[in-house]
Amino acid sequence: MEKNLIVNFHEHHVDKEADITVLLPVGKDNSLKARQMAKENPSKIIPFHYVDVNNPMDDELRQLKRGVERWGVKSVKFQPMDQHIYPSDKKLYPIYEYCEKMGLVVTWHAGVVDLGHKYEQGVPMLSKYCDPIHIDEVAFDFPDMNICIAHLGGNYMYTALVLAEKHENVFLDTAFLCFFGPRFFPPATPSALITHAVNVAGEDKILYGGEGVTPKDVLDADITDEAKIKILGMNAVKLLGLQGIASGGNDKKNGTFLEL
């Protein structure tokens, strides 16, 4: 295959191997850092927004709107094991309504993980919030809002695949499969998991995400070249409206960022 556009849809640092890195911040401080990094390099970095679920949602909605208008925020990232909230919690619905209206993607972590620490953002990382099953209700209530389940659902991969198969607006990313794959029985490689995801949910539903997964894992999957091109970048370009950035354009409407 010739070199194709690589968009890392799920990362926490700048991926030098990718043409575009999507930064998914955990916590308000990291959210601000992601915005600053994107402002400095708007053609290479896409910032997502982190919602503090302990704040009034009216305030959080205002902050999200400001992020979209001033910083080019393209999506909202939820880390439920830290935020201790399920996707179907009605307090989040004003955020969803705005995301649906503005075409923003909502990304939810899924899967039970051991990151080497049991506390994050000053709270215990509770695994009970990592099951993506509650996204089913949200996908029904907001059929025009695109939702991404991270890590192919992790250990809830069956649930995530069925939700992506069932709902036109549910997508999956491949990040951190190098953690989940060896813990399955029998163990599976990221390439094998990507192959299975494409066979079940379809090549248009899978987004390349990093966190240890590499483009080679996609290239080694037993899928068509067209599917590899879509997963490595073009699905993300379409989902996030990045056509202007991908082509090097300067049209605000096509994906460049507003200045402060």
User: pTM for this structure?
Assistant: 0.90
Which domain, by its residues, includes 195? Answer: 7-254
- Classify residue 119: in a domain, yes or no: yes
Over residues 115-162, the pLDDT tens digits come to 989 998 889 999 999 999 999 999 999 999 999 999 999 999 999 999
Give the span between the Cα atoms of 81 and 112, in whole angstroms: 9
Over residues 194-217, the pLDDT tens digits come to 999 999 999 999 999 999 999 999
Tokens 């939700």, located at residue = 163
Over residues 12-44, the pLDDT tens digits come to 888 889 999 998 888 888 888 888 888 888 889
Domain with residue 226: its CATH number is 3.20.20.140
Mean per-residue pLDDT, 218-236: 97
- Classify residue 88: in a domain, yes or no: yes
Give the span between the Cα atoms of 45 and 38, in whole angstroms: 5
Over residues 32-82, the pLDDT tens digits come to 888 888 888 888 989 889 999 999 999 999 999 998 988 888 899 999 999
Short-list 59, 173, 157, CA closest to 112: 157
- Classify residue 260: in a domain, yes or no: no
- Classify residue 139: in a domain, yes or no: yes
- Classify residue 216: in a domain, yes or no: yes
- Classify residue 240: in a domain, yes or no: yes
Q: How many domains does the chain have?
A: 1
- Classify residue 2: in a domain, yes or no: no
- Classify residue 21: in a domain, yes or no: yes
* pLDDT at site 118: 94
